[in-house]
């Protein structure tokens, strides 16, 4: 039931945005960006149990743009691991988010973007013989700088709502992206 609620929220968000932008005014851009970086949980208990720095890889598919605004769908794999008392513990998130970004015209080659995203976070925790999976709702705020036509650097903060096994999974991430 929780998975259905998260997917319903994502579908509702996509439908609302699609209705807000008339199709005749949208310029479709089919760019794909691969990113890799680090994710740092912001709660001490989570860092103590699963490590302070997790790896983060993902793909972003840009759906379209209108003027200085654009929309995209992101799919990432974020994972942290740590051995505590000879027991390997893992925390994993696979967020599927819809993102709305604004890129103001600055007249320079370097472009600054900022925006919001929201979606379903498929989470899993493992430790010893125990394993637990849940779907959570999450949202983020993101800032990115295009350092060339193909490369960008992004920083963001993610809120994963609720706790999983008593741990909050919210955190800060920094990633380098390459656009095709």
The answer, yes or no, to whether residue 23 has pLDDT greater than 70, is: no
pLDDT at 108: 75
pLDDT number for residue 64: 81
Q: Which of residues 1 and 37 earns the better pLDDT score?
A: 37
Alpha-carbon gap, residue 155 to 165, rounded angstroms: 27
> What pLDDT is recorded for position 27?
53
Percent of the chain whose pLDDT exceeds 90: 64
Q: To 5 degrees, how large is the angle CA 151–CA 153–CA 156?
A: 145
User: CATH assignment of 2-21+31-179, given 2.60.40.1730, 2.60.420.10, 2.40.160.20, 3.40.50.1970?
Assistant: 2.40.160.20
Task: For residue range 68-119, list pLDDT tens digits in order.
Answer: 888 999 999 999 999 988 889 999 999 999 999 998 887 777 789 999 999 9
How high is the pLDDT of residue 28? 63
In this structure, what token pair is assigned to residue 113?
């973007």
Phi, psi for residue 47 in degrees, rounded to 5: -65, -40
In terms of C-beta density within 10 A (0-12 exposed, 13-18 middle, 19 or more buried), how is residue 99 classed?
Answer: buried
Helices (H), the chain: 2-20, 44-50
pLDDT of residue 24: 45
Mean pLDDT of 49-64: 93
Instruction: Select from 30, 24, 20 the least CA-distant residue to 72.
Output: 30
Q: What is the pTM of this model?
A: 0.80
Lowest-confidence pick of 16-30, 43-57, 123-137, 148-162: 16-30
pLDDT-based confidence at 51, cuts 50/70/90? very high
Looking at residue 68, what is its pLDDT? Answer: 86
Average pLDDT, the chain: 86
Provide the β-strand partners of residue 86.
Answer: none
* Beta-carbon contacts of residue 107 (< 8 Å; ≥ 6 apart): none
User: For position 22, what pLDDT does the model report?
Assistant: 47
Pairing of strands 32-41, 151-160: unpaired
User: Which residues, listed in sequence order, are joined to residue 56 by a DSSP beta bridge?
Assistant: 37, 78
Count the residues in the chain.
180
**Nearest residue to 53 (alpha-carbon basis) of 136, 155, 173, 176:** 173
Judge contact between 65 and 90, C-beta under 8 A.
no
- CB contact at 8 A, 70 and 60: no
């Amino acid at each position: 039931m929780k998975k259905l609620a998260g997917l319903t929220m994502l579908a509702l968000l996509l439908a609302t945005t699609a209705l807000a932008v008339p199709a005749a005014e949208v310029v479709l851009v089919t760019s794909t960006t691969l990113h890799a970086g680090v994710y740092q949980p912001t709660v001490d208990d989570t860092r103590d149990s699963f490590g302070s720095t997790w790896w983060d890889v993902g793909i972003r598919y840009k759906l379209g743009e209108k003027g200085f605004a654009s929309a995209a769908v992101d799919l990432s794999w974020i994972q942290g691991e740590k051995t505590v008392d000879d027991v390997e513990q893992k925390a994993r998130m696979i967020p599927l988010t819809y993102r709305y970004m604004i890129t103001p015209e600055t007249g320079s080659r370097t472009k600054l973007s900022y925006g919001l995203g929201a979606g379903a976070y498929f989470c899993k925790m493992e430790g010893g013989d125990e394993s637990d999976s849940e779907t959570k709702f999450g949202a983020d705020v993101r800032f990115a700088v295009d350092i060339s036509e193909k490369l960008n650097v992004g920083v963001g903060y993610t809120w994963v709502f609720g706790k999983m096994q008593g741990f909050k999974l919210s955190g800060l991430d920094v990633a380098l992206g390459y656009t095709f």
